[in-house]
Amino acid sequence: MSKTISILGATGSIGRQTLDVAEQLGLRVAALTAHMDVERLEAQVRKFRPRLAVLTDEAAARDLAVRLADMDTKVLGGPEALLEAAVCPEADTVVTAVVGMVGLRPTLAAIRERKRIALANKETLVCAGQLVMDAADTHGAEIVPVDSEHSAIFQCLQGCADRREIRRLILTCSGGPFYGMTYEEVGKMTKADALRHPNWTMGPKITVDCATLMNKGLEVIEAMRLYRLPLDQVSVVIHRQSIVHSLVEYRDGAVLAQLGTPDMRLPIRYAMTYPERVESPAEPLDLLSCPPLTFAQPDRDAFPCLQLAEAAAAQGGTACAVLNGANEEAVGLFLAGRIGFHDIPRLVAEARAAVPAEQEPALEDILAADQAARQAVLDRA
Ligand code: NDP
Ligand code: MG
């Protein structure tokens, strides 16, 4: 059970919900970070009084330091300061809730200090899952997933001593706002349409990833890395109601599922209290007022990003870092209004074709593949 946490990405959707949970559980807060949201971080620091506050944007950090002159909290700026927050000695747990692969180096730094990693930042595992999981084994650091599907699987795997007992993992997928549309219809959707997710309120990048189904593709890779399983043991099923959060099918035919209302505070709370469970103020799932639970195949023709992710997963090595880097860059361009919805899979596919994949990559190879993928997207946008 966590006692003192640091949150990387405290001002975001996961970060704010983590602070709600921390308050309910009476956890102490050692360090909080954000990119440039000075006002929100200031309010969080005044409430939770961490030892360290970091803004990766230097100018924003200078502003925060002036505003917090009356407080004991140390304020640091710049991307390197994220590493300092990750290794803050008071914290036993680091919640990785930044968006994107900027989370990779701080996650590795926290692992080296044997912190529990409450992992929301899936891009890190997609790019460098092998490296991260190996480092966690070497240093004896626990990785507890926050992503709802992976938390569900983690919960369904409690008591499973031998991974060979697993036949497959089944990730549920809401289908996103464009479920049921054809490829042509999806292509006409705008940024405003993409930002309207039916079941969850999340940061803009992951919301777009949910609309393209790239999010589910990234989650397939995340699950493969977390549970060290090949692609053919990780499948995806559409489940519009987001009540069954994912399932594990065992060799004997038993299928275990975790159900709950769609509320990220549940998996966040479990990542904090694991291996215990503690009383929550949230309304429990009311089975009698649940809509009927339905399941369907994903449409890989209408949503090519899922196929692109599965192809990268099958190839392995730096292919997943290229996929992720290209997707981050393309989604950034889409959110800036510079490209259309179908340009996202097009640019990801072109970046994958342009950047050769290397097997058994070291950290530098992964960072280089990420950069090359981003450049390939910018060259073709
Ligand atoms: P948000 O966009 O809401 O928040 C992102 C956080 O990261 C903010 O604190 C932001 O600071 C900070 N940040 C942004 N860019 C940088 C940067 N370059 N360097 C350092 N910090 C940065 O994202 P979410 O909370 O939605 O998602 C966070 C992660 O969790 C993602 O990896 C996502 O895939 C994963 N996740 C999210 C879920 C959700 O329900 N939201 C569900 C499952 C997984 P600032 O506010 O100052 O910009
Ligand atoms: Mg998820």
The ipTM value here is 0.99
Could you report how far apart the first and last alpha carbons of the chain are, in Å? 46
Containing 185, the helix (H) or strand (E) segment is: helix 183-187
Residue 348 reports pLDDT greater than 90: yes
Co-location of 264 and 125 in the same domain: no
pLDDT band at 196 (very low <50, low <70, confident <90, very high): confident
> Is residue 198's pLDDT more than 90?
no
Q: Is pLDDT above 80 for 200? A: no
pLDDT in tens, 42-66: 999 999 999 999 999 999 999 999 9
Q: Is the CB of 98 under 6 A from ligand 1?
A: yes
Q: Are residues 68 and 108 in the same domain?
A: yes
Residue 242, ligand 1, Cβ within 6 A: no
Q: Are residues 194 and 289 in the same domain?
A: yes
Would you say the CB of residue 186 lies under 6 angstroms from ligand 1? no
Predicted confidence (pLDDT) per residue in 123-155, tens digit: 999 999 999 999 999 999 999 999 999 999 999
Domain with 377 in it: what CATH number? 1.10.1740.10
| 152 plus 136 within the same structural domain | no
Q: Is 131 in the pocket of ligand 1 (CB under 6 A)?
A: no
Residue 166 has phi, psi (to 5 degrees) of: -85, 130
Give the Cα separation of 73 and 140 in Å (integer). Answer: 30
Q: How far is the CA of 99 from the centre of ligand 1 (A)?
A: 4
Q: What is the mean pLDDT of residues 171-195?
A: 96
Is the per-residue pLDDT at 199 higher than 80? no
Stretch 328-348: mean pLDDT: 98
Per-residue model confidence (pLDDT) at position 186: 97
> For residue 197, what pLDDT is reported?
72
Is 80 exceeded by the pLDDT of residue 215? yes
327 lines ligand 1 (CB under 6 A): no
**Angle between helix 204-212 and helix 319-335 axes, rounded to 10 deg:** 110
Residues that constitute the known binding site: 11-14, 121-123, 147-149, 174, 197, 203, 215-216, 219
Residue from 320, 355, 356 nearest 214 by CA:
320
Same domain, 124 and 155: no
Domain count, the chain: 3
- 249 CA → ligand 1 middle, Å: 31
Indicate whether 108 and 179 sit together in one domain. Answer: no
Binding residues for NADPH: 11-14, 121, 123, 203
Pocket test for ligand 1, best of 99, 220, 327 (most atoms within 8 A of CB): 99
Give the separation between CA 117 and CA 15, rounded to whole angstroms. 14
Residue 174 dihedral angles phi and psi, to the nearest 5°: -70, -20
Is 36 a pocket residue for ligand 1 (Cβ < 6 Å)? yes
Do 171 and 216 contact (CB within 8 A), yes or no?
yes
On the question of pLDDT at 374 being above 80, the answer is: yes
3-state DSSP assignment of residue 165: helix
List the shell of residues around ion ligand 2, using CB closer than 5 Å: 147-149
Same domain membership, residue 78 and residue 66: yes
- Which of 100, 127, 145 terminates a domain? The answer is 145
Question: Is the same domain home to 158 and 239?
Answer: yes
Using the mean position of ligand 2's atoms as its centre, give its distance from the Cα of residue 148 in Å: 5
Is 0.80 topped by the overall pTM? yes
10 CA closest ligand 1 atom index: 9
Q: Mean pLDDT, to the nearest integer, of 217-244? A: 98
> 359 pLDDT band (50/70/90 cuts)?
very high
Q: Tell me the average pLDDT across 223-231.
A: 98
Q: pLDDT digit string (tens) for 270-326?
A: 999 999 999 999 999 999 999 999 999 999 999 999 999 999 999 999 999 999 999
The H or E element that residue 81 is part of is helix 80-86
Q: Do 280 and 320 reside in the same domain of the chain?
A: no
157 plus 8 within the same structural domain: no
Q: What is the mean pLDDT of residues 166-173?
A: 98
CA 52 to chain centre: 24
Instruction: From 312, 329, 362, give the residue that closes a domain.
Output: 312
- Let me know whether 338 and 302 are in one domain: no
Ligand whose nearest atom lies closest to the CA of 60: 1
Instruction: Indicate whether residue 99 lines ligand 1 (CB < 6 A).
Output: yes
**Structure confidence at residue 235 (pLDDT):** 98
**Which domain range does residue 343 map to?**
316-381
CA-60 nearest atom, ligand 1:
47
Residue 157 has pLDDT above 80, yes or no: yes
pLDDT at residue 122, rounded to an integer: 98
How far apart are alpha carbons 215 and 145 in whole angstroms? 15
Does 167 share its domain with 303?
yes
Q: Which pLDDT band, with edges at 50, 70 and 90, does 201 fall under?
A: confident
Predicted pLDDT at 322: 98
DSSP 159: T
Tell which of 312, 327, 356 closes a domain.
312
**Is the Cβ atom of 202 under 6 angstroms away from ligand 1?**
yes
